[in-house]
Amino acid sequence: MEKALKIPDEQIIADLLPRKFGKTGQLWVGLLMCICLLGVYAYYRQLRYGLGVTAMRDYVSWGLYISNFVFFVAISLVGSLITAILRLANVKWSTPLTRIAEMIAIAAIMFAALIIIIDMGRPERLLNVFVHGRIQSPIIWDVVVITTYFFISFLLLYLPLLPDIKILLSSPSAATRPFQKLYRVMGSFWKGTYAQTLISDKAINILCITIIPVAFGIHTVTSWLFATTFRPGWDSTNFGAYFISGAFLAGSGAVVVAMFVVRKAYQMDDYITDDHFDKMGKIVVLLALVYLYFNISEYLLPAFKMKEDEEAHLKELFVGDWAVKFWTTILVSMILPMLLLLFKSGRKPLPMFIAGIMIVTGAWFKRYIIVVPSMLHPFLPMHDVPLSYKSYFPSWEEWAIACGSLAGGMLVITLLVRIFPIVPIHETMVEKKAN
């Protein structure tokens, strides 16, 4: 931070302008597009032959798609944590992270909506949700709250971007040239006058306050898709808080990963500093502890009572077929990263990156373990069905679509990073001046 103080404005602009991709960048985009295309092909097959191409059947009627959906919703929650909560708490150091967080949030919420449509048996009837929607169904709550969250997140990305667009428009750099037209459409009206700034600041403040309940809403309602049923493992009053705490952890992990990659790719050591990693590391430890707490109450309490229906489910997780997956996930998504980040040297960029990867992949598997085993333990025994109905392992089409959606989310983030400054230029300059 000390060194960063002395950077002149022109240097900041030059440093933070979006840049053309190098070889690695192009390779990365190409790879993501290939995975996406494979997913599109798999979805074409699913549309043509029906959901029968998946491994889902009557007992496990929700599978990889739904767990992937929950993962996306979880990841998207971080936008509100970094932008809104830290901003309202007047935390200054989070400024360079806000845009990454909002980009991740937007990309994730888009793909959450998309994957839920992919999971539908009759996607062409999507409009029925609006024509015949019944307010008592948690799906309708989810549609309402996810749409709201998308628009608030979009505005929270867009409004702080306006001063930067002004800078981009005036920049002669070749890197921004292909997008000048887009910049003009988005923000040529922005002159940066006192009146405009006043309105913008006010709007951002209002959005920051509204996004917090809406963010809690998206994940609470998503957890209620499960908790409103009777099934063992889902029938919990704890589920909303459990999901939210997990989402904050997963999202923060994603931000840490993105921070590391962007810093490395764009040599932004002066802007995304070791200090940022250190502080994010402390936040991640706190969030991991909170999530661990909810996990303990989520599994320990039913395990203490061992009601008949819960017993089959819990034993399967603790010592049965799912035990390795279950314990590995707990270890990788919470305990190991937390232990690593407790040490000061663990909060350096590289170990943080590793911890972030562990948290994000762990979070993905965690959702799978929340969704699938509960479906495998219905109240009445699985019966009068072919053997293949009694177990579940996703088909290649499901994997391709899930990976395609993950790749798609990363592609959206990558393209946003290419087009817009990943670290807010204007805010950085203002802050340096204030210091």
Partner 1 sequence: MSESTNGSQSRRAFLSGAALTAVTVAAAACNGLKDPFSTQAEDQQVAPTGEKVKLLSVNGEVIEVDKAFLKPVPHMPSVSNSEARIGIPGKKFVMVIDLARCKNLKHCQASCNHMHHIQDGQNWIKVQKMKESAYTAPYWQPTTCMHCDEPPCVKVCPVDATFKRQDGIVLIDSDRCIGCRFCMAACPYSTRVFNWNEPVLPEEIAETPYSPETSVPQKKGTVGKCDFCPDMTRQGELPHCVSACPNGVFFFGDLNEDSVTNGAETFRFSDLVRDKAGYRLMEDLGTKPNVYYLPPVNRNFPIEAGEENDKG
Residue ranges that bind partner 1, judged by CB under 8 A: 49-52, 54, 56-59, 61-62, 119-123, 125-126, 128-129, 131-134, 136-140, 143, 225-226, 228-231, 375, 378-386, 389
| Total residue length of the chain | 435
Nearer to partner 1, 231 or 432 (CB): 231
**How far is Cα 207 from Cα 84, in angstroms, rounded to an integer?**
8
The least CB distance from residue 70 to partner 1, in Å, is: 13
**Would you state the structure tokens that stand for residue 194, as one six-digit string?**
């006192």
**How far is Cα 60 from Cα 375, in angstroms, rounded to an integer?**
5
Sign of the CA dihedral with 367 first, then 369, 373, and 374 last: negative
The least CB distance from residue 4 to partner 1, in Å, is: 50
Q: Is 256 helix (H, G, I), strand (E, B) or coil?
A: helix
The least CB distance from residue 71 to partner 1, in Å, is: 18
Nearer to partner 1, 22 or 52 (CB): 52
**How far is Cα 161 from Cα 411, in angstroms, rounded to an integer?**
20
Nearer to partner 1, 130 or 194 (CB): 130
Task: Tell me the CA distances in angstroms from 148 to 143, 153, 212, 268, 277, one per residue in order.
Answer: 9, 9, 12, 33, 31
The least CB distance from residue 307 to partner 1, in Å, is: 11
The least CB distance from residue 309 to partner 1, in Å, is: 9
Nearer to partner 1, 2 or 384 (CB): 384
Nearer to partner 1, 165 or 402 (CB): 402
The least CB distance from residue 118 to partner 1, in Å, is: 11
The least CB distance from residue 128 to partner 1, in Å, is: 4
Sign of the CA dihedral with 177 first, then 22, 407, and 48 last: positive
**Enclosing H/E stretch for 373:** helix 349-375
Alpha helix positions (H), 237-307: 239-266, 274-305
Nearer to partner 1, 121 or 172 (CB): 121
DSSP letter string over 14-78?
HHHS-----HHHHHHHHHHHHHHHHHHHHHHHHHHH-GGGSS--SSS-S-HHHHHHHHHHHHHTH
**How far is Cα 389 from Cα 396, in angstroms, rounded to an integer?**
17
The least CB distance from residue 127 to partner 1, in Å, is: 9
Nearer to partner 1, 137 or 188 (CB): 137
What φ, ψ does residue 241 adopt, rounded to 5°?
Answer: -65, -40
The least CB distance from residue 379 to partner 1, in Å, is: 5
**Enclosing H/E stretch for 391:** none
**How far is Cα 372 from Cα 300, in angstroms, rounded to an integer?**
19
Burial 269-288 (b: 16+ CB within 10 A, else e): ebbbbeebbbbbbebbbebb
Nearer to partner 1, 61 or 267 (CB): 61
Nearer to partner 1, 51 or 284 (CB): 51
User: Is the separation of the CB atoms in 316 and 369 below 8 Å?
Assistant: no
Nearer to partner 1, 132 or 181 (CB): 132
The least CB distance from residue 67 to partner 1, in Å, is: 13
Nearer to partner 1, 91 or 126 (CB): 126
User: Is the separation of the CB atoms in 372 and 392 below 8 Å?
Assistant: yes
The least CB distance from residue 323 to partner 1, in Å, is: 24
